[in-house]
Each structure stands twice: as C-alpha cells, then as structure tokens.
C-alpha cells in the first residue's frame, strides 16, 4: 500500500474550534495513520528531514465533505426552473418531465458528471435518494435494478463514495391515490415487492453501500412504513425520509391519520439513530421533541429549500434538542457545501433576526462527520488516525478568501476555491481540475440529451 505524507499549511482537526497551522498528515492506503501538529515555523521536534518527502498543501485542509441528500437527475433543471412563479408543486411537474427522458445509459452519463462536479466541490461521499427505478409506464427493465447499477457505476467513474438510498415510492398522496404518468416509473406495487427488488441488488465495488428510504408519508401507506423500516434495520442500513418539507404535507397527514408525519413515522418504528429526516422544515414542537428523543438525524438542504420557497427550518432548536444535523444539495440548484453550511447560520439569522447561532466548527461537523455518519460511513469525515484518507484543500488566496482568517473560510470560500481533493488516499482533484472527468463538457452533453437543447 502507498504511504504518503501531506504537510497542511492549516488543517481543521476534530474537536478544534479553529484550524491548526502546520500539520503533518500521514496516510497508508486509504487510511490516516498519523496526524502531527508541528511546532511554530513548521519544524517538528524530530528535525526537518522528516518533511523532505511531504507533499505540501497550501491553504486550509478539511476532512472529506458529505452530501447527504442528492437527486442526481435534478441537476438537469439548473437554470431552467428558477425564473418563474409558482411553488414546490409547480416545480415538481417540471422535474417529472426530465424523468421521462432518462434510461440507464443516459442516467449513467448524467450522474457521472454530477458526481464529478461534487468532487470538484470537495464532496467525497454522496447519499443518492433514488426513486427512478423502472422504465416508462413502470415497466421494469430486464435487470430491475439497472438504474441503481448505473448510479453505482457513475460514482465509481467520478471517484467518490456512494450510499444508494433505494427509495420506496408507492402512492401519489397521503390518502393513497395511485401513481400516474411519470410517477409510475417510481413504484414497485407495494413495500414487500420493493424489499424483494432491493434485496436482490448488491452494489459493485467497495465505494458503494446500500441504504433505504421512505420517500415521504405521501408516497408510502402507513401500514407499509414498518416494512421499509424493518428492511433497513435487518440490513443495518441507513434509512432516510423526506419529512415535513411542505405545510401541505403536514395538513394532509393530519387529515388522514390524525398525526403529523413525524408522529406517524414514530408510530411505525421509522425513527431512530439510523434514520435521517430530510428537510424537516415545518416541524411542530412535539415533532422536534420526538426527533431529539429518538436521536433521529435531520439533513438540511438550504439552497434547495430557498429555491423552492419551502421555508426556513428551526435548525438551532433542532440541534439543541440533540438532533444531529447534516447537509445535502438535494436538487443541485447549487453544488457548494460551503454555501449549504453557511446558509444554516445565515438563514437562522433571517428567521430570528439575530446573529451567531452556529460556530464554524459546528457547521464543519454537519458538512463532514455527521453527513458521513448519516450515510453509514462512520469511519470518515475527520482528520484523525484510523479514518479514511479524505483530504479537501481550500485556497486562502483567491479573490474570495484573500485576507480571511482560516476559521472564516466557511463564510468566505466557495466550491471554486477547492484546489485538491484526496479520496481514500488517491488524488482525485488537482489544481481545481478533476483528473479523469471533463466535468463542464460532460455536464453539457448529458443535460442536452435529457432536455433536448
């Protein structure tokens, strides 16, 4: 296995409120084997000779960042759905139109480019909330998991890790209306048949793991929620669910079940430390208590929530209730983990008209170790011995970061400032360029194919 020494100008180490200057990080294969903060001036006590073969990392080096919630095909909508009026529901119709044009080959091409764009932004692991399972009209492909396999292959090509959150999607509304039109491609008939299909799929490659998802209480009948949750529990797999993204979802759930979506999930055993609720934008006080008591996580997707006019969730109140927070780019209106992280703080300022809710280290935790944990990768997201050798280096001399203290990078840097990304000990991005994928060209080609432009 390859042994490498990396000398970070600044590195953000676990449990540190601010970055540490002059840190020697040693890796063997895909693991970090030593992390040594050096004395001032970059001279270790043992002598300068140990630095001769170290690869210098000018700037701020972070652990690998995790995108805990992705719908890869939504990337095709960027710049096409943002200028008009409407709300989540009108946007959804435009999203469904893209689903009609995807097949395993075109989805492989699009997802490969999207995941490579994530790599350029410092994302080393993604959770793909995957519900586009079947062919037109809901007819299964010869391989019922062909679309899943395409996503796993796309992540391998892009060089990042993947948790495929295979999503159960059975009905069009809380009261059980059947799937129609493009939605028919999402459904397996019932949760038992969903479980049968998922159980038959084994991701190809050590970079990928399988998880489960309940699309929402709109899409899985109450009596079948436990089947999905039980599958995840038996397979020791993460379980994700869209939760209270819209007030209309809450109202419909109360009308049909007399419970909020959170309460309904609790009734059927779908909350707990292995569960991540996505969005949780409109929880009641009782919902926040249920999530906190069960140690259910919440994945916030601020750039999508603002783009779709969903609202601002009570992030600080949830964190104070003991709810682990992670981050996702969801619809990929933006793929920029720095923007997602600082939006947690800045949106809270808008909601409360007060500043100073989250320390930078808390935002880093949400973007890194908490996101990886939500996706089932407990050995990633920290610059610590034994963790995966994921290193993300950010420029501190760009027009955005020049003159900024390293700890302030979350409020200054963007994805464009990521200059090097190492995933599992392998350099994937160097000098701001992906080493194997021409990301702009592949995005343009793949999106043109599914949007006909």
Hey, which residues are catalytic here?
A: 279, 330
**For residues 41 and 21, what is the distance between their CA atoms, to the nearest angstrom?**
9
**Burial, 400: exposed, middle or buried (Cβ in 10 Å; 0-12, 13-18, 19+)?**
middle
Contact by Cβ (8 Å): 327, 67: yes
Sheet harboring 31-37: ordered strands across? 31-37, 20-28, 3-11, 55-63, 391-394, 418-423, 426-430, 433-434
- Cα separations in angstroms, 400 against 173, 358, 397, 433, 436: 45, 21, 8, 19, 27
Show the DSSP H helices in 302-424 as ranges: 302-307, 315-320, 337-352, 360-367, 369-374
Q: 130 has which bridge partners?
A: 166
- Cα separations in angstroms, 373 against 152, 298, 327, 379: 19, 12, 12, 8
The token pair that represents 392 in the structure block: 């993300």
Q: Is the dihedral of CA 194, 197, 199, 202 positive or negative?
A: negative
- Give the single-character DSSP code of 142: S
CA atoms within 13 A on the CB side of 230: 11
Dihedral angle of Cα 432, 434, 437, 438, to the nearest 10 degrees: 10
Contact by Cβ (8 Å): 256, 301: no
CA atoms within 13 A on the CB side of 412: 17
CB atoms within 10 A of CB 58: 15
416-436: string of b/e by CB count within 10 Å (b at 16+)? Answer: bbbbbbbbbbeebbeeeebee
CA angle 248, 128, 157 (to 5 degrees): 155
**For residues 447 and 453, what is the distance between their CA atoms, to the nearest angstrom?**
8
CB atoms within 10 A of CB 255: 10
């Amino acid at each position: 296995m390859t042994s490498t020494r990396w000398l970070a100008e600044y590195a953000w180490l676990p449990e540190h409120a601010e970055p540490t200057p002059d840190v020697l990080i040693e890796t063997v294969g895909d693991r970090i084997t030593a992390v040594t903060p050096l004395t001032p001036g970059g001279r270790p006590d043992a002598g300068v000779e140990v630095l001769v073969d170290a690869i210098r990392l000018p700037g701020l080096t972070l652990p690998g960042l995790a995108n805990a919630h992705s719908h890869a095909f939504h990337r095709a909508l960027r710049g096409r759905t943002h200028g008009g009026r409407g709300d989540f529901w009108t946007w959804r119709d435009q999203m469904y139109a893209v689903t009609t044009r995807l097949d395993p080959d075109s989805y492989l091409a699009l997802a490969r480019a999207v995941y490579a764009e994530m790599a350029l932004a410092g994302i080393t692991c993604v959770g793909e909330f995957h519900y586009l399972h079947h062919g037109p009209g809901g007819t299964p492909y010869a391989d019922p998991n062909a679309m899943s396999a395409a996503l796993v292959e796309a992540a391998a090509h892009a060089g990042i890790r993947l948790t495929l959150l295979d999503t159960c999607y059975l009905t069009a509304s809380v009261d059980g209306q059947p799937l129609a039109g493009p939605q028919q491609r999402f459904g397996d008939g019932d949760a038992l048949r969903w479980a049968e299909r998922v159980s038959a799929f084994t991701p190809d490659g050590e970079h990928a793991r399988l998880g489960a998802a309940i699309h929402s209480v709109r899409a899985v009948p109450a009596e079948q929620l436990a089947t999905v949750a039980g599958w995840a529990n038996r397979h020791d797999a993460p379980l994700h669910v869209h939760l209270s993204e819209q007030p209309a979802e809450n109202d419909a759930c109360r009308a049909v079940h007399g419970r909020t979506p959170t309460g309904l999930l609790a009734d059927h055993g779908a909350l707990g430390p292995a569960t991540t609720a996505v969005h949780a934008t409109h929880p009641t006080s009782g919902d926040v208590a249920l999530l906190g008591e069960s140690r259910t996580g919440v994945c916030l997707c601020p750039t999508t929530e603002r783009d779709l006019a969903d609202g601002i969730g009570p992030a600080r109140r949830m964190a104070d209730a003991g709810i682990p927070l992670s981050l996702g780019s969801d619809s990929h209106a933006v793929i920029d983990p720095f923007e997602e992280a600082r939006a947690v703080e800045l949106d809270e300022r808008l909601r409360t008209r007060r500043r100073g809710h989250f320390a930078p280290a808390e935002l880093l935790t949400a973007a890194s170790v908490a996101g990886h944990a939500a996706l089932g990768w407990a050995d990633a997201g920290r610059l610590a011995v034994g963790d995966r050798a994921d290193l993300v280096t950010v420029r501190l001399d760009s027009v955005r970061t020049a003159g900024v203290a390293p700890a302030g990078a979350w409020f200054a840097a963007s994805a464009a400032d990521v200059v090097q990304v190492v995933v599992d000990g392998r350099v994937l991005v160097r000098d701001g360029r992906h080493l194997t994928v021409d990301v702009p060209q592949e995005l343009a080609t793949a999106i043109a194919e599914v949007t006909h432009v």
